Amino acid sequence: DGERVQDSHPVKASTKKSSKKISNLTNLTKPGSHFKRQRRLTSEVWVNYEFLDEPDENGNLLCKCKKCGTTYNADSKNGTGNLKRHVQNCKRRYYLDVGQMIIDSSSSGSLQNRLPSINADIFRELVASAIVRHDLPFQFAEYDGIRKCFSYLHPDVKVVSRNTLKADILKMYRREKSNLREYITAISSRISLTSDCWSSITTDGYISLTAHFIDNHWTLQKRILNFRFLPPPHSDVHMSDEVCSMLKEWGIQNKIMSITLDNASSNDVFADVVKSELDLICGGDYFHVRCCAHILNLVVQDGLKEIDDTVIKVRESVKYCKGSQARRQRFLTSVAHAELDNARGLRQDVPTRWNSTYLMLESVLYYKKAFIHFLKSDANYIHYPTTDEWVRIEKIFRFLKVFYDVTKVFSGTLYSTTNMYFPNVLKVRLLLKEEMGSTNKFMNKMANKMYENFSKYWANFSTIMAVAVVLDPRFKFQFVEWAYKRVYGEFEFESELSKFKDKFNTLYDAYYHEFAVVPSTSHSHTSNNKSRQRGVVNVDPVCDEFMTVNFLYCSKLLFYFIFINLQLQ
């Protein structure tokens, strides 16, 4: 009978009591016989379930979900409400299923897949985050291809317009800004700032402000606070007003330690105006810090203005080898003959960027054997350096390598660079002093020109850089003493070192009074706090003497290795 559903289930023998409880079964017979349902199953939910061969312990008919295997009572008197609720919440039904599509077609008239409900707010948040993260236009959500893609993933998705997305992103910005303001005002440390200005292609001015600080878990953090349009005029006073308004907006005007700027002359006035508006430690003596990488860039650029003829010959060699496809292929053949890696490639420099000149010299020295073979295979190649010129190229390369390595150290973003300034700048100063006595006229002239500009910046360097070296357990105070002796000589270094000690003690006292814990009323606790001022602690005199002697011995050994390293470089 097409109108009747037959279920063939072998059933075990049961008692009369059990058979009475199966209300929707008839003709239960002896073991091995079949039972059949007398009326039609009309509910759509039965497509998702299959009946079990055996009833439960009470004789009730059971069914199980085809997807997850969960069993339910299939007796007609219990209804199908719990079965429908399971179909909606079954975790294993989130994919295309022909049976489910047939169920949905009865109500909507079309075949469609049943998917979990979508949260419109979360979807809009994800789209807005994607636009911000990947720098997409607001019109991205209105592209036909994107809308079709979203509709395919879920038919109920509601794609918003670009104006709605813009409002969502602004709402997200205000929320994140509020969270960041609460976070940054709750930290106990002071905040160091970096700031810079740019001009776009359309000559619009922009200013940025970045905060660097140590959080309450002693982890180095960096947050971009502002990147905003800077209307004209771009004067010192106007820029200082903008920065002060930013700091007050974030509520950190009383938590600032320093600000790092490039070496433009206008920044001196800018820093002085901002300093007068803030509550700074030590009266703002350590507020203005000059960008170390920018200093090195200016020093090297001044020295390389009158470039050596050997470097010009190297530049022409690179241009010649990369001038045509045929010459490139011949050079690659020479590289293969010399058994070198052709993946590194020749670097052509930009005359206005000294680091590109360094990278060009590095690549040419690596392919030196290839150039020798290239000279034999190409009769038109006339820019090959002589033996003496190769020696000069290596010397210039080693000279620039020091500046390149130091600049890379100063450009780090995942670690603190303050404690690395003093030893690296000292390395540069000793290198310039050495090359000033060189017999090579070009190196001597370049070193003298660099040293002239370097001395100007050295005189204005921030003492906080030397303080960071003292706090670094690898160097401590002995390194500053040794460095001052090398820089100022035996007669002047004591007076300069004495000035540094006074500034160091003043800075320590300022931090002590700002962050010192209020002592307890207990007499023993008060006396203990007094003994800890300026780092004084109660220790055994013999132990203290041993530690002092041992530390001085280790320090002298460490500085000896540093001295040897500087001499070798």
Name the percent of the chain lying above pLDDT 90: 21
At 94, the pLDDT band (50, 70, 90 cuts) reads: low
Question: Coil, strand, or helix at residue 359?
Answer: helix
Query: Among candidates 89, 382, 184, 322, which has minimal Cα distance to 332?
Result: 322
Structure-token pair, residue 559:
């500085």
Average pLDDT of span 534-554: 40
The separation between the first and the last C-alpha atoms of the chain, rounded to the nearest angstrom, is: 99
DSSP class of residue 209? E
What does the pLDDT look like over 343-354, one tens digit per residue?
888 888 887 788
pLDDT on residue 93: 65
* Strand arrangement, sheet containing 205-214: 220-229, 205-214, 191-199, 256-261, 288-290
Q: Is the CB of residue 36 less than 8 Å from the CB of residue 6? A: yes
Structure-token pair, residue 338:
């010399």
What does the pLDDT look like over 41-84, one tens digit per residue?
778 888 888 888 888 888 888 899 988 888 988 887 778 888 88
What CA–CA distance (Å, rounded) separates 39 from 27? 14
Residue with more model confidence, 549 or 231: 231
Candidate from 190-199, 452-461, 559-568 with smallest mean pLDDT: 559-568
pLDDT above 80: residue 196: yes
pLDDT above 90: residue 423: no
Structure-token pair, residue 293:
């990488």
Average pLDDT of span 154-168: 87
Mean of pLDDT over the chain: 78
Average pLDDT of span 257-266: 86
Candidate from 290-294, 423-427, 555-559 with smallest mean pLDDT: 555-559
Structure-token pair, residue 448:
């003298």
pLDDT on residue 173: 93
Residue with more model confidence, 178 or 22: 178
Alpha-carbon Rg for the chain, nearest whole angstrom, is 39
What CA–CA distance (Å, rounded) separates 32 from 34? 7
pLDDT on residue 410: 86
Query: What pTM was computed for the model?
Result: 0.64
At 100, the pLDDT band (50, 70, 90 cuts) reads: low
Q: Is the dihedral of CA 46, 51, 55, 57 positive or negative?
A: negative
Candidate from 301-310, 369-378, 402-411, 422-431 with smallest mean pLDDT: 301-310
Stated length of the chain: 569
pLDDT on residue 4: 39
pLDDT on residue 544: 42
pLDDT on residue 102: 52
At 526, the pLDDT band (50, 70, 90 cuts) reads: very low
At 103, the pLDDT band (50, 70, 90 cuts) reads: low
Average pLDDT of span 495-499: 88
pLDDT on residue 132: 92
pLDDT on residue 538: 38
What CA–CA distance (Å, rounded) separates 270 from 274? 6
Residues forming a β-bridge with 191:
256
